[in-house]
Amino acid sequence: MRDFTPIDHHRRVSTMQALLASGEIGLDALLFTDLTDMRWLTGFTGSNGWVVVRSGMTTLGTDTRYGDRAEAETQASGVEIVALQNRAALQDSMIDAAGSGEVGLDGRSVSQAVWSQLAGKLELASVDSLVATARETKDEAEIERIGAAAEAADAALAEVEPMLFSTIDEPVTEADVRNELEYRMRRHGADDRSYNTIVASGPEHAARPHHEVQDRTIVAGDTVVIDVGALVDGYHSDMTRSYIIGEPTTQQREIYDLVQVSQTAGLETLQNGVTAHAVDSACRDVFTAAGYGDWYLHGTGHGVGLQIHEPPFHSQVSNEVIQTGNVVTIEPGLYRGGFGGIRIEDLVVVTSDGHRVLTHHPKQPFAT
């Protein structure tokens, strides 16, 4: 693994404690049950745990399977670890850590049953997760990891792409391409794939934005959509490139060029202070003006970080504002059964003076 800049979990924990101490949010404690929030805050990567933050202390509770791991992963964060085998005892311990006063908890992170159980013992207040909000803005250590994930996917696709154009002499299936991509991403430093790699080919499969890979053989005349991302130290990447196998038809060229114009419009719009709605509109308006508005079946993009889909989301119903430090996708596409589909997606970090693209594999739809 690369020697990444350490993530400053101590600063993150201290910031939350200071926020409570200031009285600004009017709460006495914060309770986190979402594992992604806990990882961002403390560095803990286990599959079971709770975190309680008070102005003077932060406590992470987990079961005894993860006791040593929690100690090691959170050593620099300054949190206190409680590891108990009995889950009921662990919950009681975290309730004790929360103490008296009003405790903020994001109601979306627990079931109604757990909320009701906790509400009988704590003075709960339903609040949006402050950590989830903070996670939307990436620091340089996070961008390093996302960039490394993007590099792994770039390198893998560069090696696998020639398979698509040798299908006449050496037939390959969607699954063949998927398997090679995922193997080669790991060879280039990825810990895992970021999500289920999409290889969608032909007039029906490529018309499905989230097609599940099958054993269909890729043939001349197909459009092929490849959506591929890598996972590095918990952080995701996301990229889509589309291809036309064999001699392209007039319509295939037209659709590909239109998607490329749309994506360029989205990238040119993306900057600090614009709305996610405006980014979506920049891409969508290109399709609508060309008469293909009803071929666009999804939003224009989303945030990427410890989760592959996280805020902000570029859509017509979004009121989110793009901020410096957001890492987002710009991914317009057109799809129609009987034709197939074309999508082009880049992963982009928003900077103080615009943006920087993290995915660099060429957008070349034809064999060269």
**pLDDT per residue over 243-283, tens digit each?**
999 999 999 999 999 999 999 999 999 999 999 999 999 99
Cβ count near 306 (within 10 Å): 20
CA atoms within 13 A on the CB side of 284: 17
* 3-state percent helix, strand, coil for the chain, nearest multiple of 5: 40, 25, 40
How large a percentage of the chain has pLDDT more than 90? Answer: 95
**Domains of the chain, CATH where assigned:** 9-134 (3.40.350.10), 140-357 (3.90.230.10)
Residue 279: Cβ within 10 Å count: 29
Question: How many C-beta atoms lie closer than 10 Å to residue 22's C-beta?
Answer: 9
Q: How confident is the model at residue 65 (pLDDT cuts 50, 70, 90)?
A: very high
pLDDT digits (tens, 9 = 90+) for 157-199: 999 999 998 866 789 999 999 999 999 999 999 999 999 999 9
Contacts of 226 (CB under 8 A, 6+ apart): 157, 177, 181, 197, 198, 199, 200, 240, 241, 242, 243
Q: Tell me: the pLDDT tens digits for 106-144?
A: 999 999 999 999 999 999 999 999 999 999 999 999 999
User: Rounded to whole angstroms, how far apart are CA atoms 225 and 209?
Assistant: 9
Mean pLDDT of 301-325: 97
pLDDT by residue (tens digit) across 215-238? Answer: 999 999 999 999 999 999 999 999
Q: What's the pTM?
A: 0.96
- Rounded to whole angstroms, the Cα distance separating 334 from 286 reads 11
Nearby residues of 176 by Cβ (< 8 Å), 6 or more positions away: 163
* pLDDT at 169 (0 to 100): 75
Taking residues 50-79, what's their average pLDDT?
A: 95
Task: Provide CB contacts within 8 A for 11, sequence distance 6+.
Answer: none
